[in-house]
Structure 1
Amino acid sequence: MWCKTCNRETNNEKCEYCGNITEHDIPLEVFWCKECNAPIIKYANDIDKDSCPSCHATTSYLCADLRPVFPEERLLFEIIQGKPLAYMNNSVWAANNRIYIDGKPFTITKKFYSKLTPEEIYEQLEKYKNQNSYSSFNDNIAKFIELNRSRLHYIIDEAYRFIKEASASYPNERIVISFSGGKDSTVTADLTVRALNDPSLVHIFGNTTLEFPMTMEYADRFRKNNPKAIFKTAINREQDFYAMCEDIGPPARMLRWCCSMFKTGPITRVLNNLYRDKAILTFYGIRKSESVSRSKYNRIEDNAEAIKIQKQKVASPIFLWKDIDIWLYILGEKIDFNDAYRLGYDRVGCWCCPNNNDRAQFLARIYMPEQYDKWHTFLVNFARRIGKPDAEEYIDSGAWKARQGGNGVEAAQDVKIRYTNCTAEDNAKVYQLNSPIDDSFIELFIPFGRIAPELGRKLINETIVVDLKTNVPILSIQPFAQEGYEYSVKVKTMNVAKHDDLQRMVGYQIKKYNACRRCLKCESLCRFGAISIARGTYHINDSKCKRCKMCVTAKYLEGGCMMEKYLKTKI
């Protein structure tokens, strides 16, 4: 156990000195050896952390984590500094907004990126790229691997044990590797294949249609270099990212509707096609140190509230690894990787993700100018449309990334449930609909019980839903003419103890009918594969639905529909 406050090890759940809750993981630290001119990875409680394992010189603390700066990124840094190729023979590393040259830190501020225009930088990159050399870089990496060889062996052995234990109850045919084309999923894939000694495992690549060009190149290369792997690509060909942005607004840090629509949703479809209703184990490249939210995950997770695709249990072999561990493995084991990291990207998800930092945006302006200009123009026009007084400042400052809800977006009206209480019948509400009642609307009530149209009054087109266990009617659904509503439906609850609870869940389904943008979240939520979006319409398969009611429970689906989160407005 480790107390972060007192920076000390203890055997107790609570620190004896300060009283704070302790952590299970001993933190890693990076030290620098001036003699070897390379970083060394140590635990905070290591007795010999101040000594180099090779030359035995005294080392000094450098930082909590570190990544190598490849020659391409180093040249970019030199050009902005006005010193092309100046550090070609130095050992250059980076952590957050700092560059370390032979262990000496240089802080990179936001102003640093504005010294030259992207066009000027690109011109100089082209001018000097043939003179740029990997010779010293390779020597420095070789020394780094030598100094941390024992660490490399340890993390490999520990990951192998974890993978074998996690997969012990699953046949290899039901083991999946989630492959994004990033460094973490690359390492996870390599570890899993080696640990299980099976190169034919299923790899699923989620092509969000917003990938870096280099990610697509790497995915193709990975497929060719691993011919025995079952490599599946998950892609949403039915939706267009820009069209959705026009409709519901661009994604923001807290409003990443794109993840469900273009990543987890398409992956769910591939899994459903491959495995139907079978339980699977998926190895993910998730790491605790990546974000606050991921630090709360478990290394093995099957909690319905925590995982995005319900039919799977997820396991993370590299959960406790730092960036420097990832690069130690990639470079030490000589694994191919995404070339975007050579340019200076520290993450390679969607190139326009609102979670990208200033450096990633800066790099996009240099290496993807056409895509960047198109995206920037769209964002500025969107800001004007929702009434921002200084649209360009709102976008360029990054304030758009903090946007919450659907204020100023016309589609926000669709998540508002409009109803009136029926004056003629108790426990009945008349809901406004955006379109006429059809078969897909009636299907939305399958999670509540058995659809029994034969019990309804045919004269008024009534449909009855009966409880599966008791065969007693619990819902009456009928088209209704209500003043002020172009389309409406009357829903009455019957023979239940809590009418309000059932009506609330009915309201969730009404919201789906009015606001569904085919985000595919519901497909991912249903572990039985009962929910599907076909030809633009939401369907529930009666024979597959187990009536678990997860799709109408706010605990799993806020407001009954993901659009509630993305489009709700402040009053």
Structure 2
Amino acid sequence: MNEKVITTDEDLIYWCENCNIPIIKKQGEDLTCPCCESSIKYLTTDIRPVFPEERLLIEILLNKPLEFLEKSVWASNNRYYVNGEVFSITSKHYKKYTPEEIISQLKKFAFLNKSEFFNKYIDKFIVANRNRANYLYTEACEFIKETSKDYPLENIILSFSGGKDSTVSADLAVRALSEPSLVHIFGDTTLEFPMTMEYVKRFREENRKAIFKVAKNKEQDFYKVCEDIGPPARMLRWCCSMFKTGPITRVLNNLYKDKQVLTFYGIRKCESVSRSKYNRVENSADAVKINKQTVASPIFYWKDIDIWLYILGEKIDFNDAYRLGYDRVGCWCCPNNNERAQFLSSIYMPEKSKKWQEFLISFAKKIGKPDPEIYVSSGKWKARQGGNGLESAEDVKIKFANCTAEDHAKIYQLNKSIDEWFYELFLPFGRYAPELGRKLVKERVIVDIKTNIPIISIQPFVQEGYEYSVKIKTMNVEKYDDLQRMIAYQIKKYNACRKCLKCESLCKFGAITIKYDEYHINPNKCKRCKMCVTPKYLVGGCLMDRYLKTKN
């Protein structure tokens, strides 16, 4: 499908001093305001509205409560525009008052913080940019219809996070396809903003025809996992697999089995460097986190201001966290959150924020940081890499010895006794042949799926210094080392599995399930594609290798 690029860096934000509103224009277009025909001047590349709740907070930080009540206030990151004049809010402003002092001031002026002037400017903004809104809507609807034409409606899914982007993407899909009963999947990470959960509740009440599924990992406790393998960091976001994509995969497997589905996401190119590398439609195993789906984004080329133009222009309900000043509403304690988000959480979620802060300091002490408070307050915990200082880091270290009595045989150390499900880890290599193993030594044999020739022998082993161990011999293959390397990945999974659910998400055939601390592979579903033992798709053979690997 040929992608139609609807917006580029040429789409810029201009300011009408007469109307006091932003105007979206392309470079080279007539630089006059559509409402009053006054000349407009360049302002910035993107911008968002500042709602009265956030505006009051900014005024308090500046020690000017209600100073901007009657003015048009917009923002881009830490830059605020008041009637087109810019100033910055920096970290020093966040440290000027304690959260308690700010909360007291917010309560004091709340009853005077009216929306009258805000609404007036928003109404003008919508009228002035109506042509832009119409163009965006028409193009997005055409994209949705074209992308979904080969899928039955029951195989079309709307990924619903409770954020503004997924809200718009879902609304566009329902309108474009004239189908209010599409499947919506909400991934409840257990780390959602309270405002997100309130919004999801409202959405379900207002969209009763929608098929709304909640994906939630009820088997894991976030803080207990953090205690075991450390808190998520920017490069170590195990939480995404464990609490989001993994549970969503389970819902998809339950609903669709082996069927391929089309999921409309609220991903936008301008959100981050990583997302700028995506395509508007993705279905490759390299790019898609859940391999049974093709993902597409109707709003891929939209800016922040476009999202708000659509939401406010169509009067769509949205997450109240945005009114407070949050610019993203994923997990409230995400290591990717900026300083403003952390500051806002200390005000609007003081108990949660305090608990998280105390945990981080405790963790810093646990791994031997000499200055734990500074380590946390400076944000260095977000840059943490690997499992240094953690006892659990031992679980990803493959310990083995070459067997001196047999060629191509290794004795692997395990950290627990062999359970029956241990043998299932070898099913990606072939078929279990119970008739071939030597029962006296409890040997299990795996045969090649095509030739029925034995290729792996698995035998419990007793050796001094190895409390639990297993001897694994490879045979009748051309590349013994390659096979042993993949076998080592499975040993690592057995020792280190934390039920992160990455393997479940990776398997497009639904052959892998992880329940009750056991890793199961269904021999009838497994197609021996070996994706689950290939570094290209699973670095180190197990996601825990990345999170717990240590440096000397």
Q: Does 1:41 align with 2:24?
A: yes
Equivalent position of 1:169 in the other structure: 150
Any idea what the Cα deviations from partners look like across 1:80-121, whole Å, max 9, x if unmatched?
111111101000000011010001001111101111111011
Give SS of 2:212's match.
Answer: strand
In structure 2, what residue type is equivalent to 1:221?
R
Q: Does 1:191 align with 2:177?
A: no
Tell me, in whole angstroms, the C-alpha distance in 2 between the residues paired with 1:395 and 1:346.
22
Tell me, in whole angstroms, the C-alpha distance in 1 between the residues paired with 2:266 and 2:120.
29
Tell me, in whole angstroms, the C-alpha distance in 2 between the residues paired with 1:243 and 1:359.
27
Q: Which one of the candidate residues 358, 365, 369 is aligned to 1:388?
A: 369
In structure 1, what residue type is equivalent to 2:288?
I
Structure 1 residue 25: Cα displacement:
3.7
Give SS of 2:159's match.
Answer: strand
Q: Does 1:369 align with 2:340?
A: no
CA RMSD of aligned residues (A): 1.0
Matches within 5 A, 1:289-368: 289-368=270-349
Q: Which one of the candidate residues 536, 545, 548 is aligned to 1:555?
A: 536
In structure 1, what residue type is equivalent to 2:158?
I
Matches within 5 A, 1:13-412: 25-44=8-27, 46-48=28-30, 50-412=31-393
Structure 1 residue 53: Cα displacement:
2.1
Structure 1 residue 304: Cα displacement:
0.1
Give SS of 2:471's match.
Answer: strand
Give SS of 2:346's match.
Answer: helix
Equivalent position of 2:3 in the other structure: none
In structure 2, what residue type is equivalent to 1:366?
I
In structure 1, what residue type is equivalent to 2:273?
V
| Contact kept in structure 1, 2:443 and 2:458, CA below 8 Å | yes
Tell me, in whole angstroms, the C-alpha distance in 2 between the residues paired with 1:216 and 1:399.
30
Structure 1 residue 24: Cα displacement:
9.2
Q: Does 1:453 align with 2:427?
A: no
Structure 1 residue 425: Cα displacement:
0.7
In structure 1, what residue type is equivalent to 2:10?
P
Give SS of 1:93's match.
Answer: strand
Give SS of 1:454's match.
Answer: coil
Any idea what the Cα deviations from partners look like across 1:347-398, whole Å, max 9, x if unmatched?
0000000000000000010011110110000000100111111100010011
Tell me, in whole angstroms, the C-alpha distance in 2 between the residues paired with 1:226 and 1:191.
14
Tell me, in whole angstroms, the C-alpha distance in 2 between the residues paired with 1:330 and 1:484.
65
Structure 1 residue 54: Cα displacement:
2.2
Q: Does 1:418 align with 2:418?
A: no
Structure 1 residue 26: Cα displacement:
4.5
Any idea what the Cα deviations from partners look like across 1:390-417, whole Å, max 9, x if unmatched?
1000100111101111111111110000
| Contact kept in structure 1, 2:7 and 2:301, CA below 8 Å | no
Structure 1 residue 453: Cα displacement:
2.1
**Do the aligned partners of residues 382 and 67 (structure 1) sit closer, same or farther apart at CA in structure 2, a change above 3 Å counting?**
same
In structure 1, what residue type is equivalent to 2:315?
K
| Runs of at least 4 residues off by over 6 Å | none
Tell me, in whole angstroms, the C-alpha distance in 1 between the residues paired with 2:497 and 2:300.
35
Structure 1 residue 56: Cα displacement:
2.1
Give SS of 1:453's match.
Answer: coil
In structure 2, what residue type is equivalent to 1:320?
Y
Q: Which one of the candidate residues 413, 424, 428 is aligned to 2:409?
A: 428
Give SS of 1:129's match.
Answer: helix
Give SS of 1:481's match.
Answer: strand
Equivalent position of 1:6 in the other structure: none
Structure 1 residue 28: Cα displacement:
1.9
Structure 1 residue 435: Cα displacement:
1.1
Equivalent position of 2:527 in the other structure: 546
Structure 1 residue 41: Cα displacement:
0.8
Structure 1 residue 497: Cα displacement:
0.7
User: Please, which runs of 5 or more residues in structure 1 have no aligned partner?
Assistant: 1-22
Give SS of 2:173's match.
Answer: helix
In structure 1, what residue type is equivalent to 2:494?
Y
Count how many residue pairs are aligned between Structure 1 and Structure 2. Answer: 547
Equivalent position of 1:3 in the other structure: none
Q: Does 1:527 align with 2:512?
A: no
Give SS of 2:201's match.
Answer: helix
Tell me, in whole angstroms, the C-alpha distance in 2 between the residues paired with 1:388 and 1:486.
33
Normalising by structure 1, report the TM-score: 0.95
Equivalent position of 1:11 in the other structure: none
Any idea what the Cα deviations from partners look like across 1:203-260, whole Å, max 9, x if unmatched?
0000000000000000000000000000010000000000000000000000000000
In structure 2, what residue type is equivalent to 1:250?
P
User: Please, which runs of 5 or more residues in structure 2 have no aligned partner?
Assistant: 1-5
| Contact kept in structure 1, 2:506 and 2:532, CA below 8 Å | yes
| Contact kept in structure 1, 2:20 and 2:84, CA below 8 Å | yes
Tell me, in whole angstroms, the C-alpha distance in 2 between the residues paired with 1:43 and 1:457.
75
| Contact kept in structure 1, 2:503 and 2:532, CA below 8 Å | yes
Tell me, in whole angstroms, the C-alpha distance in 1 between the residues paired with 2:524 and 2:146.
35
| Contact kept in structure 1, 2:442 and 2:459, CA below 8 Å | yes
Tell me, in whole angstroms, the C-alpha distance in 2 between the residues paired with 1:51 and 1:467.
72
Which region of structure 1 is more displaced relative to structure 2, 79-88 or 188-197?
79-88
Q: Does 1:516 align with 2:493?
A: no
Tell me, in whole angstroms, the C-alpha distance in 1 between the residues paired with 2:26 and 2:420.
61
In structure 2, what residue type is equivalent to 1:168?
K
In structure 2, what residue type is equivalent to 1:278?
K
| Contact kept in structure 1, 2:266 and 2:297, CA below 8 Å | yes
